[in-house]
């Protein structure tokens, strides 16, 4: 059994701590005697109908694991979690299931019961998009991290250029390590974090596009320089010129941005400026927004369950009647598109609106960058 705080190859100075099984046992035990008030909020439990993968069922498996019972059944429970924190919004004690799950998955890996699919879900160091590098200013105090899941670096580069703010990028392949830690490969993830932290040492502000990476760096990594892309854009959106005509859009709260970091208002303000209209809300929104099934490797381990979750969320967003849904997570946007919804990650949507404005009358003049 893995006890105490897990550590990477070196003692990372900013790391607030990555709890092991012994650290989460008391909370997991508390959860396993709770009357499951959160059950309706868990997308995996709802999609699969399996009691063993409710938050309560997962924590029951985790308590058994802390007693030394780590089996294939433990793996089946603890890999049935997207890390969405939906249970946390409904949980009176406010338990943190993703932290319990990370600790348990590390123990499952150690015991040799991890699903083979986790290797592909662990992410990998990625080089920045050529367009981001081409527009970067070496040594600029603001450093932008797109994240390894984004294939839209060209759109992000266009949006950043439109703000007029000089930025730099990390010019070698990097990964923050969050996905590796999520799936139980704790040493790999912490090693990647250590490499990235060393490369960011001169940055004053680190703008992180993927909210999953942002939470890991800011909360788990203890890095106060980290700001999410939507929050950063909200402070610069008055520099952007968007088309005169409004467009009906819906907004999907990414789990790691909303429940993970409490960032709700800023992306709505940015989308409202770009669309010329307040974005529509799905029936479940803000801290009760439903997950798309994209998190913590769940879609790799149970693609059928993840597809049901994505289809459920896509239907909720389609019911708004908006022609396009905007979110701020490349993984969530991809899952919604796979479910048949027109869904765009925020940089892609903003880039399209900027391009549209360039072809016609803009609604507002962009102010000069300072």
Give dist(CA 186, CA 8) in Å, integer.
7
Give dist(CA 276, CA 339) in Å, integer.
27
Instruction: Kindly give the pairing relationship between strand 324-327 and strand 249-251.
Output: parallel
Quote the least distance from Cβ 91 to ligand SF4, whole Å.
Answer: 3
Q: How many CB atoms lie within 10 A of CB 223?
A: 21
Q: Do residues 28 and 62 make contact, with C-beta atoms less than 8 angstroms apart?
A: yes
The only residue of 93, 173, 303, 340 in contact with ligand SF4, by rule CB under 6 A: 93
The only residue of 60, 85, 268, 313 in contact with ligand SF4, by rule CB under 6 A: 85
Q: Judged by CB under 6 A, which stretch of 38-46, 202-210, 216-224, 237-245 contacts ligand SF4?
A: 38-46
In the block, residue with structure tokens 């520099």: 239
170 is a site residue for ligand SF4 (CB under 6 A): no
Tell me the three state secondary structure of residue 354.
Answer: helix
Q: Which long-range contacts (CB under 8 A, 24 or more apart) does 159-164 make?
A: 159/233, 159/240, 159/347, 159/350, 159/351, 159/354, 160/132, 160/135, 161/135, 162/239, 162/240, 162/241, 162/354, 162/366, 163/233, 163/236, 163/239, 163/240, 163/369, 164/239, 164/368, 164/369
Give dist(CA 317, CA 333) in Å, integer.
12
Per-residue x/- mask for ligand SF4, residues 42 to 81, rule CB under 6 A?
xxx----------xx-xx---------------------x
The only residue of 1, 37, 117, 272 in contact with ligand SF4, by rule CB under 6 A: 37
Q: Judged by CB under 6 A, which stretch of 85-93, 173-181, 230-238, 326-334 contacts ligand SF4?
A: 85-93
Q: Looking at beta carbons only, is 93 or 141 nearer to ligand SF4?
A: 93
The only residue of 15, 38, 118, 237 in contact with ligand SF4, by rule CB under 6 A: 38
Give dist(CA 75, CA 113) in Å, integer.
6
Give dist(CA 321, CA 21) in Å, integer.
45
Tell me the angle at which helices 186-199 and 97-111 cross, rounded to the nearest 10 degrees: 120
Q: Looking at beta carbons only, is 97 or 240 nearer to ligand SF4?
A: 97
Give dist(CA 34, CA 91) in Å, integer.
10
The only residue of 15, 18, 24, 31 in contact with ligand SF4, by rule CB under 6 A: 31
Q: Looking at beta carbons only, is 59 or 152 nearer to ligand SF4?
A: 59
The only residue of 62, 78, 87, 346 in contact with ligand SF4, by rule CB under 6 A: 87
Tell me the three state secondary structure of residue 83.
Answer: coil
Quote the least distance from Cβ 79 to ligand SF4, whole Å.
Answer: 10
Per-residue x/- mask for ligand SF4, residues 315 to 344, rule CB under 6 A?
------------------------------
The only residue of 34, 161, 166, 272 in contact with ligand SF4, by rule CB under 6 A: 34
Quote the least distance from Cβ 189 to ligand SF4, whole Å.
Answer: 18
The only residue of 36, 268, 285, 290 in contact with ligand SF4, by rule CB under 6 A: 36
Q: Looking at beta carbons only, is 168 or 220 nearer to ligand SF4?
A: 220
Question: Which residues of the chain form contacts with ligand SF4 (CB under 6 A)?
Answer: 31, 34, 36-38, 41-44, 55-56, 58-59, 81-87, 90-91, 93, 95, 97-98
């Amino acid at each position: 059994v893995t006890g105490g705080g897990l550590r990477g190859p070196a003692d990372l100075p900013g790391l607030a701590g990555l709890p092991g099984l012994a650290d989460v046992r008391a909370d997991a035990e508390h959860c396993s005697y709770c009357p499951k008030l959160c059950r309706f909020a868990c997308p995996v439990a709802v999609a699969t109908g399996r009691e063993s993968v409710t938050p309560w069922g997962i924590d029951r498996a985790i308590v058994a694991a802390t007693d030394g019972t780590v089996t294939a059944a433990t793996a089946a429970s603890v890999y049935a979690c997207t890390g969405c924190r939906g249970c946390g919004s409904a949980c009176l004690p406010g338990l943190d299931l993703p932290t319990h799950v990370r600790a348990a998955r590390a123990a499952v890996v150690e015991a040799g019961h991890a699903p083979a699919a986790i290797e592909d879900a662990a992410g990998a160091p990625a080089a920045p998009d050529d367009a981001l590098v081409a527009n970067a200013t070496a040594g600029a105090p603001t450093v932008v991290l797109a994240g390894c899941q984004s294939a839209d670096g060209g759109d992000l580069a266009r949006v950043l250029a439109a703000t007029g703010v000089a930025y730099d990028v990390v010019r070698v392949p990097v990964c923050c390590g969050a996905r590796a830690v999520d799936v139980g490969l704790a040493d790999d993830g912490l090693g990647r974090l250590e490499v990235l932290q060393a490369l960011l040492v001169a940055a004053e502000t680190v703008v992180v596009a993927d909210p999953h990476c942002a939470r890991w760096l800011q909360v788990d990594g203890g890095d106060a320089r980290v700001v999410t892309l939507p929050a950063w854009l909200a402070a610069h959106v008055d520099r952007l010129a968007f088309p005169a005509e409004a467009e009906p859009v819906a907004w999907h709260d990414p789990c790691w941005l909303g429940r993970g970091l409490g960032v709700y208002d800023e992306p709505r303000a940015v989308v409202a400026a770009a669309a010329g209209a307040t974005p529509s809300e799905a029936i479940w929104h803000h801290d009760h927004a439903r997950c798309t099934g994209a998190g913590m490797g769940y879609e790799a381990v149970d693609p059928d369950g993840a597809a049901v979750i994505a289809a459920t969320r896509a239907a909720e967003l389609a019911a708004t009647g908006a022609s396009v849904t905007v979110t701020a997570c490349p993984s969530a946007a991809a899952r919604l598109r796979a479910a048949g919804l027109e869904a765009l990650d925020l940089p892609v949507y903003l880039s399209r609106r900027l391009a549209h404005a360039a072809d016609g009358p803009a609604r507002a003049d962009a102010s000069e960058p300072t």
